[in-house]
Amino acid sequence: MGFDSNRLGRIGDWMQSYVDRNRFAGCSVLVAQAGREVYFNAVGQRDIETGEPFARDTIARIYSMTKPITSVAIMMLAERGLFHLDAPVSDFIPAFAKMECLIPGATSIDQTEPCPTPTLHHLLTHTSGLSYPFNPGVLAKAMDEHDILFRADQGSLAEMTDRVAALPLAFQPGSRWEYSVSIDVLGRVVEVVSGKTLEQFFVDEILGPLGMNETRFSVPQGAQDRFAALYTPLAGSAYALNDATPSEPTLRCVDRPEKSPFLKAEMHSGGGGLVGTIDDYLKFTEMLRTGGAGLLSPKTLDFMMRNHLPGDIASMGPASFAEQPMEGMGFGLGGAVVMNPGRVRVPSSVGDFSWGGMASTFFWVDPVLDLSVVFFTQLAPSSSYPARPQLKALIHGAMT
């Protein structure tokens, strides 16, 4: 399969080193090439308190790895001629009809000017002007104060989306890149257009057809005993990136499996709400790698996995948190795209399509080497350790 077995063994040593140093409670890696499994390993524990192992069937929070799935849902509807990507989001969510954005250099949330309504394409590419409460900036601070995060216990998607629309944008749509709740808003668009809840659309159109039967917004019935605990190395909130301070111990549990809101999620967060298994997610990445599996046209997938920005992410002046490097990295619809591996400074192929989640999960699809790789763990925030570039280096280093 083009891999050196001894070098593949380094991956297990690396994984174990993260557990031994109390960086991760446990983790798993699954690698496939040309549709055939090349490597799987799991180490450590999914729950330190109970001592249960981090196994292949562990249910994990995938957070922002939900975003590519929601983006696929949007493109499935676009393929049916139900809208075009330059349509303003107000066509589907009227609360976005009259938008304001912060003026350049604004220091308070009321310093605004009129601006166009973001389009679906702006939302798909994180150039909409929306933000996240853990980003720096005036809008992010307001979102934090209003507790706008689309958490599993935060009520209905429709209501939260309207609350987002009531705040100004951080900038004129299309002028900058900023990681945001844009894909959550698109999840609401899926509901409006399809007439189904986001989860029902996912189950009927994506998760069901792909056999992803343990990926849902709530932990599936009968799988609660396989649901992992969530840990953080921070002293405060795992999402308080603007004032993050280290904690002792380095693995502090912030979401117990038996008490988690993911046991019965109220919110269907298209930007970060799904839980599932590593094998389930590989089915999704394989759909991307092989050209749609009948869900999407290969031409549509090719369109999604191209860079949709004028240059790399760094050229668009981001000040936000991001799951990936920004230099040499473009952004497609639902994920990042490697434009220049040298600028990314991580062994990669041009065209690698990837994204990660706040609990340090990660995937990438390499169209040149025919690879699908999925990494699972449960540590928030994902910026805690450089596990992602290290894993890419290990896998590229194992190829002959």
Per-residue pLDDT tens digits for 133-142: 999 999 999 9
What are the pLDDT digits (tens) for 294-349? 999 999 999 999 999 999 999 998 777 766 779 999 999 999 999 999 999 999 99
Q: What local confidence, expressed as pLDDT, does residue 56 receive? A: 98
What are the pLDDT digits (tens) for 187-207? 999 999 999 999 999 999 999
Q: What local confidence, expressed as pLDDT, does residue 299 receive? A: 97
Look at residues 313, 77, 321, 270 and name the one whose alpha carbon lies nearest to residue 164: 270
Distance (Å, whole) CA 46 – CA 378: 8
pLDDT grade for 242, boundaries at 50, 70 and 90 = low
Whether the Cβ atoms of residue 332 and residue 353 lie closer than 8 Å to each other: yes
Look at residues 370, 353, 291, 280 and name the one whose alpha carbon lies nearest to residue 34: 370
Q: With pLDDT > 90 as the criterion, what percentage of the chain qualifies?
A: 93
Q: What local confidence, expressed as pLDDT, does residue 321 receive? A: 73
Residue 171 corresponds to which amino acid?
Answer: F
Bond prior to 249 in cis (omega within 30° of 0): yes
Residue 45 corresponds to which amino acid?
Answer: Q
pTM of the model: 0.96
Distance (Å, whole) CA 255 – CA 252: 9
What are the pLDDT digits (tens) for 31-54? 999 999 999 999 999 999 999 999
Q: How far is CA 243 from each of CA 10, 48, 108, 235, 238, rounded to the nearest angstrom?
A: 35, 27, 19, 10, 10
What are the pLDDT digits (tens) for 264-291? 999 999 999 999 999 999 999 999 999 9
Q: What local confidence, expressed as pLDDT, does residue 323 receive? A: 65
Phi, psi of 209 (to 5 degrees): -60, -30
Quote the Cα angle for 365-367-369, to 5°. Answer: 95
Per-residue pLDDT at 159 exceeds 80: yes
Q: What value does the mean pLDDT take over residues 57-81?
A: 98
Whether the Cβ atoms of residue 284 and residue 212 lie closer than 8 Å to each other: yes
pLDDT grade for 243, boundaries at 50, 70 and 90 = low
Q: What local confidence, expressed as pLDDT, does residue 236 receive? A: 81
Tell me the two tokens of residue 201: 């659309």
Largest CA distance in the chain: 60
What are the pLDDT digits (tens) for 220-233? 999 999 999 999 99
Q: What local confidence, expressed as pLDDT, does residue 201 receive? A: 98
Q: What value does the mean pLDDT take over residues 392-399?
A: 97
Beta pairing partners, 363: 355, 374
